[in-house]
Amino acid sequence: MCQKWVDHRPEVDPLTGAVTTDPRTSAASAADHAALEWGLRMVEGWGGELLVATAGPAAAEVVLREALAAGAHHAVRIDLEATATSEEVAAGLAERLAGADVVLCGDWSLDRGSGSVPAFLAAQLAAASGLGCTVLALDPDRPGEVRAERRLDGGRRERLVLESPAVVSVEGGGTRLRRASLAGVLQAREAAVEVASAPPLTPSRPPLRIGPYRPRPRSRPAPSAELTARERILVLTGTPADRPPPQLLVLEPAAAADRILDQLRTWGYLL
């Protein structure tokens, strides 16, 4: 079962976009807590042992100790920078989690997470994947089989049956982590946490530039004073009356994608 140490209340400088995080407000997310709770219920129902893993710096071990206090059996930290990509995180975790019957994760992390680590993990482990589940049903007589429910558009639900090995990610709402006992907390303080290094990884694609959204400045001549206020605003905000009319294109998917990229380049959204 995987946990991520993440700041719940990061501060973002509105001018530079610089993000400041604070270890005091950093912890596992509600989704990770829900995943931990399901993990604990699995080992209660099916037997076996619960290994809790995180990828991050040494400070991230607080999430492991929290999980140990709640009842996890072992803990491992994959030593990675907090800025590691989902791919690196998944590769690091996969090496240590290979052979697990079920891998549980929160659906996505709070720091603009995309929920891709569980997907990468499933790919790395060649496991079945059920991502973004709301509720799980565990049959004590069928260890390793997870029945999961997840949301679809339009208020519909989808039921999945996942056979081991499987990667399951769960939503945060609805499942609350049990409160750790006092003895659990005291033992978790002393418990050993294994530290593993992540395998070197060549990224499959170059990293994107990450930064604040910066619309480019455009210089515009002052609008004619003879226009009405509304017209002057239209001119200034770049809503010209003579914009090219919308076009409807019917293309093959590949050609459509190229066309979209071309258009985005024309508009200046892509370099």
Partner 1 sequence: MPETFQDFDAVVVGAGPAGSTAALVLARAGRRVALLERGPYPGSKNMYGGVVYGRVLDGLLPAWWDEVPAQRWVTRRSTMVLTPTQALSVDFRTQAWGSPPYNGCTTLRPDFDRWLAGKAEEAGAVLITSTTATGLLRQGTRTVGVRTDRPQGDLRAPVVVACDGVNSFLAKEAGLYHHPEPEHFTLGVKEVLGLPRHEVEKRFALQGDEGMDIEILGGTGPVPGGGFLYTNLDSIAVGVVLHLPALAASRRRPEDLIADLKAHPAIAPLVAGGDLKEFSAHLIPEGGYEAMPGVVADGLLVAGDAAGLCLAAGLWLEGVNFAIASGQAAAEAAIEALRSGDSSAAGLAGYRRRLEASFVLQDHKKLRRAPGLVLSERVQHQYPKALCDVVEALFTVDNPAPKRGALRAARAVGKNDGVRLRDLARDLYTMARTFG
Partner 2 sequence: MSDPERIPDIDFEDRMASVEFRVAATAHITVDGDACRGCTTKACVTACPARLFVPTSDGGILFNYEQCFECGTCYLVCNRAGAITWAYPEGGHGVAFRRS
Binding site for partner 1 (CB under 8 A): 24, 27, 179-183, 185-186, 189
For 161, half-sphere exposure in the C-beta direction (CA atoms, 13 angstrom radius) is: 4
Give the C-alpha separation, 73 to 188, whole Å.
Answer: 10
User: Pick from 13, 22, 139, 158: which binds partner 2 (CB under 8 A)?
Assistant: 22
* Distances, alpha carbon 88 to alpha carbons 62, 82, 123, in Å: 21, 11, 13
Beta carbon nearer to partner 1, 43 or 119? 43
CB of 179 to partner 1, least distance (A): 6
Residue range at the interface with partner 2 (CB under 8 A); choices 17-25, 48-56, 93-101, 156-164: 17-25
176 binds, among partner 2, partner 1, none (CB under 5 to 8 A by kind): partner 2
Cβ count near 245 (within 10 Å):
5
- Cα–Cα nearest to 196, from 266, 124, 95, 115: 95
**What are the structure tokens assigned to 56, written together?**
């991050």
Beta carbon nearer to partner 2, 10 or 144? 10
Residues 6+ away with beta carbon under 8 Å from 250: none
Rg (CA), the chain: 24
189 binds, among partner 1, partner 2, none (CB under 5 to 8 A by kind): partner 1
Q: Beta strands 2-3 and 51-56: pairing type?
A: parallel
User: Pick from 9, 151, 220, 259: which binds partner 2 (CB under 8 A)?
Assistant: 9
- Cα–Cα nearest to 172, from 124, 123, 120, 104: 104
186 binds, among partner 1, partner 2, none (CB under 5 to 8 A by kind): partner 1
8-state DSSP, 181: P
68 binds, among partner 2, partner 1, none (CB under 5 to 8 A by kind): none
Beta carbon nearer to partner 2, 22 or 158? 22
- Cα–Cα nearest to 61, from 196, 151, 251, 241: 196
9 binds, among partner 2, partner 1, none (CB under 5 to 8 A by kind): partner 2
Beta carbon nearer to partner 1, 183 or 241? 183
Give the C-alpha separation, 77 to 193, whole Å.
Answer: 7
**Which of the residues 162 through 181 are near partner 2 (CB under 8 A)?**
176, 179
Beta carbon nearer to partner 2, 8 or 232? 8
Beta carbon nearer to partner 1, 159 or 179? 179
Binding site for partner 2 (CB under 8 A): 8-9, 22, 24-25, 176, 179
